[in-house]
Structure 1
C-alpha cells in the first residue's frame, strides 16, 4: 500500500510539472521578447550598415508540434512503465467503474480452460463462479439472473438455490454434465440484468432462471446518473481504465477525497440509501411497467436464441417487516391531521394492550383519513392476526408492503407482471410467492423463510431449489425425466459439502442494522454476534451490540464489551459514550465523568456528553455546573429535548416554576410526545395556579401512556381537590386513583394518599380513612406528619382542596 501510494503521488507531481517538461523539450523562437536581441544602431549619414542575416533554418511549425507530441508521449510512456514496475494495478482489473451499466466490463473472463468471475472477492458484486470454456457435448448449462436474493446474501453461493439445484440435477442425471452458474449481482435490477444477459448469450446457455423484482426501486435511486451517461463517454473511460496513469490518478483522487473522513465513517457500513426517495402511486405504476417491459425483452431475446426460460415470482417478509416509509395524506387540513393522529395513537395504545377489535376500529378510521399510509395497514394486519382473521391479515400485510413509499421489497404488481409475462411469452413459471405463503403458518410469510426483508433463509433456498427441480423435470428440459422424491432431494441436500458459513461480517453487520431499525433487537443482536465470530474486532458490530444491550437495560452484559470497545478504539467518541453511560448507571460517577470528558476532547461540544455531565453534576450537588452543561448541550444542539427537559427540571426543583415551564414547553416543541416533559409541565403549571392548563397536559400524557402511574396519580389528585368547577370531578378522580393503586398493587403511599383524597371528595370518608391510614403506615418518617394531618381531616369529615399532589 505504501509503494502504491508513492507511485500515485508521483503521478500527481508529474502532472503538476508536465508544462515545465514540455517547455524544456520545445524549440524556442529567437524572436521571443525574453531573449536578448542584437541592438540595432541608427544609420549615420554617409555610412553604410552591414545587413544582419537572420537564421532561415528554423524548424517548420508542424515539426515543432510533432516534436512536442513525441516528447509528451515519451514522458507518459516512461511514466506508464514506471507505474507498471511499481505494481500499480489497472482500474479495470480492480473494479467496474460503470457498476454494470456500460456493458463493457464482463462478469466472466477466460482463465485457462474455464470462464471465471472477474475480480472475485468476498462480499463482491458477483459470486466466484466458473464454467468450462468449451461446453461439454453432453452438458446442460443454466444461469441464474437476479439480485442479492438469488445471489445467496448474506451467506454464500453454495447456500443459494442455484448451487443446490445444480447438485440435485447432477445426481438425478449422472449422464449429463450439469453447469449451474449463479450470475446474480447484488442490487442488480432488470435494467442491468439485460446487460448481463447480453454477455451470457455468448456462453451457449440452455436455461435461464430469472429471480428478480426487489431492486426496481433501489437501482434508480443509486444509479440514475450512470444510466444516463452516453455510450461515447463510457467507451472513452473504458479505454482510460486500461492505463496505469489514469488508474493511478483515479486511486489518488479517491484517496485524497477519503482523507477528511472521520473515524465515525469507518463503522458506517450500513446498506441504505443516502437520500431516501419516496414514490407516489403513479411513479410506482411506471416502474412496474418498465420492469414488465424489460423482463419481457429479456425472455424474448433468450427464446430467439433457443434458450429456455424459467421465471420465478419473488416472495418477501410481509408479516415481520414494517414498511420503510409512510406518507400522510397531504390533502388533510390541520383538523383532519389531528383526527388522523389521534386515531393512530389510540390504535397503537390499544394494540399494545392487545385490544385488537377496538384498535382495528381506530386504524380503520385513520385509514379513511389517510388511505395510503403504509404503517396504518401494517397495524391493521396485526389486529386481524390477533383476531385470527388470517385472510384479512394477509391482505393487510400485502397492502402495507404495496403502500410503502420507499419500497425495498417487491410490490404485488411486480409478481403479477412476472406471472403475465410468463404466460404471454411461454416461459416456465415457478410461483415461489404463493409457495412460500402456503408453507408459512396461516399463510403469513415472515422470518420462517425470509432472513430479513427479502433474502431467503437457507431453508428458503432449499425450497426454491426443490420446486425448480420439479418444474424442470416435468418440463423435460434436462432429458429423460428423473424420479422426483422429496426424500431423495433432502438426502442430497444433507450430503452436500457446503461450508458452515461464508457470510461476510460486513453483510451480517448490515443485516443487524436493518433489523435494529425495524425494532427487531434480538435478531439484530444475533447478527452482530455472528459478525463478531468472524471478525472479533469489528467495531460496528461490537458498538451496535453494546448499544442494543444498553437499550434493553442489560448493563452487566454491555459493560465488558464497552470496555473492550474503548480499548480497541480509544479515539472513537461514541464508544467512550457507551462506557461512560454504563459507568454512570452503576454510580461510578468519577470514572463516568472522565469518559464523558474524553468525548468532549474528541468531539468538542458534544451535546450528549454535556447533558450527561449535567446530570452527574446535579448528583454531586453542583447545580451551577449542571446548568452550565445543559446550556452548552443546547448551544450545540438547540432541538435537544432531553437537555431542555433536564434544565427545566432543575429549575423546577429550585422553585423557579416560570422558567421551568418555558423549558418544558420548548422541549415539547421539539418532541411533542415527550411524556416526562408533559408531566412536569403540568406540575409547573399547577404550582403557578393554572390548574386548567395542568389538566390539559396530564390528559395529553395519559393519551400517550394510559397506565403511567405518576400521570394517573397527578390527574386524579387535581380532579379531587381543585376548587375550579370546570376541573373538579370526584368520580373520575376515584376511577383514576383506583387504576393507579391497582398498578402499584396498593403498595405506593403517594397513590394511596390520592385514593383517600378522591374517596373523601366523593363523600366516602370511611374509605378515605382506610386508605390514608395505610398510606401513613407505608410512608417514610419524614412525610408522616403531613399524611397524619390529612387523616385527621378525613376523620372529621373534611375533604381536601388545592393541596400539592403527593
Structure 2
C-alpha cells in the first residue's frame, strides 16, 4: 500500500512537469507570435558561413546584383518597390539555373520570364535568375533568407549536382552519439533554443570542428590537380545527403511560413555519353584489380573484333567482380545502350554515376532525398529527370539521357532549358497562378527565335570554351582540348578562347602549341589578366624569370576584385616567386603577404 507521502511527492512531480510544459508551451507560442524562427531555420547545424556582401543591392529605384557577386551570378535587376499587380519569381540553383555555358539569356529562367509575360500582357512577371556557379543546396538555403526581403511570390529551387564540391569534413559532428544527435535535432525545432542561442552570442559562437565556409564557393577541384583529391567516403556521402535534406526542408518551411509557394526541380544528368570522373576499386587487393583490368582489356579486343555481345558479357563479368568500379559499369552500360538493351543500360549507367569517386552529378540518394522532401513538405516537384529521359527515348530509342540533351555532364542544351521552363509554367498553372488555357508550348515557339538568335559564332565559341574549362577543371583535359579547338574555329581572335586553348595545350604537354596560342591570346587581348598570367607561367617553367615578371606585373595592373580570389592568390604568389628569383627580396615578401590575404 502506497503511503500518502509518496503520493504527495508523485503529485508534486507531476504538477511540476505540467507547469513546466505549460510554461514552455506558452513561451513557444509567444515567440512564434513575435516572429522568432526555429533554430534549425536560423543556423545551419552542419556548417557556418562567413558574412559577405548581399546578392542584391539597391541602385536608385531598383535592386541589382552586387558587383562582387557577379563572378558567380548573372546581372539581374528588379524594382525596389514592387509594383502593384506584379508577380515576382526567384529561381535558385547552380550553374544550370545560371545558364552555363552561356548566361541568363538562354537559361530556363529567361524562357519562363518571356513566356509568362507573353501569356499575360496585362500583368507583369519578374523572373529573377539567382543561379550561382557551383552553388549547392546549403548556400541556396542561406541565400533564401535574403530573398524573402524582396517580396517573392514563388521560389523555384533546382539543385543537387554541387553537393560534393566543397570540403565539409564534419569531424566533430560524426563523433556525436545518436542520442546527442537526436537531442540536438529536437532542440533545433524550438524557438526557445533560438532565443537562448541569440543571448549567448548566436552565429559568432560556432562550435569547434564545425566547418566555416568562405563567402564564395571554394571547390575542392580548385585546390588540386583534378579528381584525385576525392576518395571514397561512404560516411561523408551520407552526411552530404542529410545536409541536402536539411537545406531543402529549411527553404520549404520558411517559404510556407511566409505564404510563398516553393517548387522543387528533380535534376537529371548525362548518363550515356559521360564517363565517370574517377573510378577506384572497392578493395585495394591486387588480384581483384588485376582481374577487372584484364576483363576490360578483353572486352576492348572483342569490340575491335566486332563481337559486341561477347564484349558485353565480358564487361558484365568485370562489373560482378567489383560492382564499385565505376568505369566497368559505364563501359557495360554504354555498350548495352548501343545494343538496345535499354533496361540494362539504365541500371549500369546509374551505377556508374553513383560509384563515381568524384560525384559531380546528383547521385541516386540525392535524387531520392529531393523526392522525399517534396513529399514530406508537400511542395510540388517538377521531374526534369523524366523530361530528359523521354527526350532521349524519342531521339535515340532508349530512355537513357546523353549528348542529345546535354552539353557536358550536367548542363542541358538550350532546347532542354526550354522544356524545363514549359514544365515550370504548367506547374504554375496547377498553383492557379495562370489560366489553365495558356499553351506554354505554343508560347515557347513564339519566343524561340528571339532567344536563339543571340547565339552568333563568337558567343557559341565562348560557350564551348566555358564547357572546355569545366571539363579541364574536372581532370578531363583531352576531351576539353577537343572542344576548345572547336571554339577557336568559331572565333579565332577571341582572347578568352585562345587563352583557354593555350592552357589546355600546356596541360596535355603540347608546349610549342601552348606558347604560340598564348602569344596570340596576349596579342588579341594585351590587357587580359588571365592570358598574361598563363603566358607568364610558361616562361616560369623555362626559368625565364624576367620575362615572366614583366607579364605578371601587367596582369596585376589589370586584375580587379571582380577576379576570383583564387586567381588573385596564385597571381601574387607567382609574382613573389619571380621577384625572389630576380633578387628583389623585399618585393617578394610584399607579394607573398598580399597572396596570403586574398
Kindly state the Cα deviation for residue 386 of structure 1 after the two structures are TM-superposed: 2.9
1:234-258 CA-to-partner distances (Å, cap 9, x unmatched) read 9xxxxxxxxxxxxxxxxxxxxxxxx
Distance 1:370 1:464, change over 3 A: same
Distance 1:194 1:568, change over 3 A: closer
1:160 lines up with 2:120 in the alignment: no
Which structure has more relative contact order (CA 8 Å, sep 6+)? It is: 2
CA contact (8 A) 1:154 1:504 kept: yes
Aligned to 2:387: 435
More displaced 10-residue stretch of structure 1: 102-111 or 509-518: 509-518
Distance 1:302 1:350, change over 3 A: same
Aligned to 2:442: 487
CA contact (8 A) 2:498 2:517 kept: no
105, 110, 113: which one aligns with 2:53: 105
Structure whose alpha-carbon radius of gyration is higher: 1
Distance 1:487 1:222, change over 3 A: farther
Aligned to 2:365: 413
Taking the TM superposition and a 5 Å limit, the aligned residue runs for 1:246-645 are 276-330=229-283, 332=285, 334-440=286-392, 441=396, 442-478=398-434, 480-496=435-451, 499-500=454-455, 501=459, 503=462, 507-511=466-470, 513=472, 516-517=476-477, 519=479, 522-527=482-487, 529=489, 532-535=492-495, 538-542=498-502, 544=504, 563=516, 565=518, 602=544
1:531-556 CA-to-partner distances (Å, cap 9, x unmatched) read 755327833324536988979xxxxx
Kindly state the Cα deviation for residue 450 of structure 1 after the two structures are TM-superposed: 1.3
Q: Take 1:542 and 1:120, find their aligned partners in 2: how far apart are those partners?
A: 28
CA contact (8 A) 1:350 1:359 kept: yes
Kindly state the Cα deviation for residue 421 of structure 1 after the two structures are TM-superposed: 1.5
Kindly state the Cα deviation for residue 303 of structure 1 after the two structures are TM-superposed: 0.9
Aligned to 1:151: 98
Distance 1:465 1:348, change over 3 A: same
1:761-785 CA-to-partner distances (Å, cap 9, x unmatched) read xxxxxxxxxxxxxxxxxxxxxxxxx
CA contact (8 A) 2:487 2:497 kept: no
Kindly state the Cα deviation for residue 134 of structure 1 after the two structures are TM-superposed: 1.1
SS in 2 for 1:301: helix
CA contact (8 A) 2:518 2:534 kept: no
Distance 1:527 1:393, change over 3 A: farther
1:165-204 CA-to-partner distances (Å, cap 9, x unmatched) read 0111011012212110011211111111111000011111
Q: Take 1:326 and 1:218, find their aligned partners in 2: how far apart are those partners?
A: 17
204, 210, 215: which one aligns with 1:232: 204
Q: Take 1:574 and 1:294, find their aligned partners in 2: how far apart are those partners?
A: 39
CA contact (8 A) 1:532 1:541 kept: no
SS in 1 for 2:49: coil
Taking the TM superposition and a 5 Å limit, the aligned residue runs for 1:102-141 are 102-119=50-67, 124-141=71-88
Distance 1:106 1:436, change over 3 A: same
Q: Take 2:349 and 2:497, find their aligned partners in 1: how far apart are those partners?
A: 39
SS in 2 for 1:405: coil
Q: Take 1:427 and 1:505, find their aligned partners in 2: how far apart are those partners?
A: 36
Kindly state the Cα deviation for residue 143 of structure 1 after the two structures are TM-superposed: 0.2
Q: Take 2:80 and 2:536, find their aligned partners in 1: how far apart are those partners?
A: 55
SS in 1 for 2:229: coil
CA contact (8 A) 2:73 2:130 kept: yes
Q: Take 1:576 and 1:110, find their aligned partners in 2: how far apart are those partners?
A: 40
Structure 1 unaligned blocks of 5 or more:
1-98, 235-267, 552-557, 579-594, 604-806
Distance 1:447 1:270, change over 3 A: farther
State the TM-score, normalized to the length of structure 1: 0.49
Q: Take 1:396 and 1:213, find their aligned partners in 2: how far apart are those partners?
A: 21
Kindly state the Cα deviation for residue 210 of structure 1 after the two structures are TM-superposed: 0.4
1:381-439 CA-to-partner distances (Å, cap 9, x unmatched) read 12212322122112211110011111011112222221222122121111000110100
Kindly state the Cα deviation for residue 493 of structure 1 after the two structures are TM-superposed: 2.6
Kindly state the Cα deviation for residue 511 of structure 1 after the two structures are TM-superposed: 3.6
SS in 2 for 1:186: coil
SS in 2 for 1:439: helix
Aligned to 1:643: none
Distance 1:485 1:307, change over 3 A: closer
Structure 2 unaligned blocks of 5 or more:
1-46, 173-201, 207-220, 524-530, 546-598
Distance 1:272 1:417, change over 3 A: farther
Kindly state the Cα deviation for residue 517 of structure 1 after the two structures are TM-superposed: 3.2
Aligned to 2:571: none
Kindly state the Cα deviation for residue 529 of structure 1 after the two structures are TM-superposed: 4.8
CA RMSD across the alignment: 3.9
1:582-629 CA-to-partner distances (Å, cap 9, x unmatched) read xxxxxxxxxxxxx9xx986649xxxxxxxxxxxxxxxxxxxxxxxxxx
Aligned to 2:129: 182
Taking the TM superposition and a 5 Å limit, the aligned residue runs for 1:66-77 are none
Q: Take 1:104 and 1:134, find their aligned partners in 2: how far apart are those partners?
A: 24
Q: Take 2:422 and 2:144, find their aligned partners in 1: how far apart are those partners?
A: 25
Kindly state the Cα deviation for residue 335 of structure 1 after the two structures are TM-superposed: 3.2
1:211 lines up with 2:158 in the alignment: yes
Q: Take 1:599 and 1:101, find their aligned partners in 2: how far apart are those partners?
A: 38
Q: Take 2:333 and 2:432, find their aligned partners in 1: how far apart are those partners?
A: 42
CA contact (8 A) 2:89 2:152 kept: yes
Q: Take 2:454 and 2:48, find their aligned partners in 1: how far apart are those partners?
A: 29
Q: Take 1:138 and 1:529, find their aligned partners in 2: how far apart are those partners?
A: 48
SS in 2 for 1:291: helix
CA contact (8 A) 1:354 1:386 kept: no
Aligned length in residues: 441
